[in-house]
Structure 1
Amino acid sequence: MLSGLAIAGTAALLAGCGSAPESSSTSGGDASDYLPCMVSDAGGFDDKSFNQLGYEGLTKAADELGVEPKTVESAAETDYAANLQSLVDQGCNTIVTVGFLLAPAAAEAAAANPDVEFVSIDDTVDLDFDGTTDEPNIKPIIFDTAQAAFLAGYLSAGVTETGVVGTFGGMNIPTVTIFMDGFAQGVDYYNEQNGTDVKVVGWDRATEDGSFTGGFEANDTARQIAQGLIDQNVDVLLPVGGPIYQSAAAAIEDSGKTIALLGVDADVFETDPSVSSLLLTSILKQIDVGVYDAIMAAGGGEFDVTPFIGTLDNGGVGLAPLHDWEANVPADLMTQVEELQQAIIDGDLTVESYLAQ
């Protein structure tokens, strides 16, 4: 059931999607009585990934509004409902739920508390699959990261020396596999355009299955899966699932091989300097800006439930700079990546995903 939560009916939501979130310094006026809140997914607010980005967006908006936000971290899925209820009980005006897996709990809380505003990160909260968000007090903020992952896949196929690139995820859910599938599409396109045969391990587009850790923790399981891919001769590795990249980085360092790491959500080069030397780039989604704009609007009494869907066109997704890897990437390859980005924006090249129009 979870695998379909964000898929069914998305086309109807796309028709009403909002414009790109843009930072604004305009205060929402007297918001001293306004209380913004947030519930994290498992992994916590220091995951250097999507939970952290959401938290940064919330705190930035709260600072500008002159209010003190309330936050609660989830250690497991069983915490979601109780954490949401605790924030409702504390009088929160707007509650941000960070992560696809919180959608069922968010829908239940929103239905039971129609006067509370909810912002859902990474899910449309369409549990009855009718093409609309289930409750009128929920704003979805979602991202077509397949577009940016396509560019990362093409780039990776262009820099690999072994001819094998790999990916693995935390769980087989759409917000994870959208990265993995977009990545594989980019590799396939590189092969088509250049007559090469770069292989992707860890994800099978035909079966829509691959290598998963079963969670979003940096642990031995994640490290073992990363090692298994390294043993298949990969020299570019994309872990998708918050802090599991840390386990991948440890496996890369232990291998003694030159293997490029790809980050997701945030620019991991900036959020975690301990792995910066390994990073080729990161596949970005502007969760922080989306949360910031939603809270600023709500704090000013202008809460808008129109879904925001991040794309390359509106700047909601993209690739981070190459940073230390720039000298190792041929200039003509980056020119090709930039041309592909424009082709996707112009509609001349379609990247398949459950969020594609």
Structure 2
Amino acid sequence: MKTWKKTSAVAAVALVASATLAGCGSAPEKKAGAKTDFLPCMVSDAGGFDDHSFNQLSYEGFKDAAKELGADSKQFESKTANDYTPAINQFVNQGCDAIVTVGFALSAATVEAAKANPKIDFILIDDAADNDFNGKKDAENIKPILYNTAQAAFLAGYAAADYTKTGVVGTYGGQPYPTVTIFMDGFKQGIDYYNKEKGKKVKLVGWEGNNKGVFTGGFDANEKATNTAKQILDQNADVILPVGGPIYQGALTAIKDSGKDIALVGVDADFYETDPNTRPLVLTSILKNMKQSTMEAVLAAGKGNFDPNSYIGTLENNGVGLAPFHNFESKINPALPGELDKVKAGIIDGSIKVNSYLNAQ
């Protein structure tokens, strides 16, 4: 039985006709000269489509699918949680055939809309759509897209433990949602495994497990995010993992202010590629292949092959992974990449156990 609580849906507030629901321009014509009338739509979490993280990756996959289908599309960029329900309902009223909602915070609003509109395909990213906490999704017309990022975070924890010079590694999150703490759990397990295998005592600060850790209370790149990162760095951590979309930007500020040699670990996307400002600092990133999985789900819906079964990204199916070390290639232990390959193989074949809430899915 799951014990966490998800954010409740905010009461619907009618959107006026001039709301900022953005429709994109005409898509390229298909080879046959005809354009599909399938209309996919997307609602972002409050981080926006330019968060260099999960909203952006999902949006890119969504747009690629629309382009391949030859479909027009509509998207709405949420600013606050108050936007979720009205935006989804507006897309229902505009005749969207598939509605993609990005992030666990939209789960309640998505479930409510799916129950009321069983003929619309809903794709919910980063949540199991089980708001009743019974282990089963709450509407049959929702496809949950999930990622067992604990597996990839395990590799990042191992790498961080091998890299640290102070013997202290840190992490903090936005809010204690399962899709946030799964990173922190895997990261801790990777450090623990490294210590066991190497006879080391690398310390993790900011996360003890069992929902005991350091959180900013939200997902904004604000002063709280910076101060939280400073709290971690003040404990002598020289590798830091911020989990929660834009909150990593607070870590960038904290690292700069510290004047110390600190390495950053990214989440969701390869920060080196999505945010050039991180390039001097990012050791590696814990990847979710959100772009590909979102694209495939929308393509299936557009071709009349909507599959409501849950998708879970793993190391084995390349749904999660670890980014290259990029500028840190010359700074890491030369033996580390080979060791990580062995650890990855052990996770895939089951000889190395990685615990996460998704193991029971």
Using the TM superposition, give the Cα deviation of residue 78 of structure 1 relative to its aligned residue in structure 2, in angstroms: 2.1
In the alignment, does 2:50 pair up with 1:49?
no
1:5 to partner: Cα distance: 5.9
Which ranges of structure 1 fall in alignment gaps of 5 or more residues? 7-26
Deviation at 1:31, TM superposition (A): 5.5
The alpha carbon displacement at 1:255 in A equals 1.1
Correspondence 1:131-280 to 2 at 5 A: 131-205=135-209, 207-280=210-283
Match of 2:327 among 324, 328, 338: 324
Query: Equivalents in 2 of 1:230, 1:59: separation in Å?
Result: 38
- Match of 2:217, SS? coil
CA distance in 1, matches of 2:170, 2:259: 17
Instruction: Determine the structure 1 residue equivalent to 2:23.
Output: none
Give SS of 1:42's match.
Answer: coil
Is 1:114 the counterpart of 2:118 in the alignment? Answer: yes
Structure 2 letter corresponding to 1:175 = T
- Deviation larger for 326-335 or 259-268: 326-335
On the 8 A contact 2:6/2:105 being kept in 1, the answer is no
Q: Mapping of 1:46-85 within 5 angstroms?
A: 46-85=50-89
| 2:286 equivalent to 1:283 | yes
- Aligned partners of 2:219 and 2:93: how far apart in 1? 28
Letter in 2 for 1:41: D
Which structure 1 residue ranges, 4+ long, deviate > 6 Å from structure 2? 27-30
**Under a length normalisation based on structure 1, what TM-score does the superposition of the two structures give?**
0.91
Give the stretch that moved more between structures: 66-75 or 212-221: 66-75
Root-mean-square deviation (CA, aligned residues, Å) is: 1.7
Match of 1:352 in 2: 355
**Deviation, structure 1 residue 4:** 5.1
1:126–1:133 contact (8 Å) kept in structure 2 = yes
CA distance, structure 2, for counterparts of residue 127 and residue 211 of structure 1: 25
Structure 1 residue 130, shift from structure 2 partner: 3.0
Paired with 2:75 and 2:31, the residues of 1 have a C-alpha distance of: 21
Corresponding position of 2:4: 3
Note the alpha carbon deviations across 1:275-301, whole angstroms, 9 max, x for none: 111000000001111110011111111
Distance 1:28 1:173 in 2: 44
Gaps of 5+ in 2: 8-29
Distance 1:131 1:238 in 2: 29
Shift of 1:246: 1.0
| 1-structure distance, mates of 2:84, 2:135 | 24
TM-score of the superposed pair, with normalisation by structure 2 = 0.90
Distance 2:190 2:91 in 1: 42
2:354 and 2:3 mapped to 1: Cα distance?
23
Mapped to 2, the partners of 1:31 and 1:68 lie a distance apart of 9
Identity %: 55
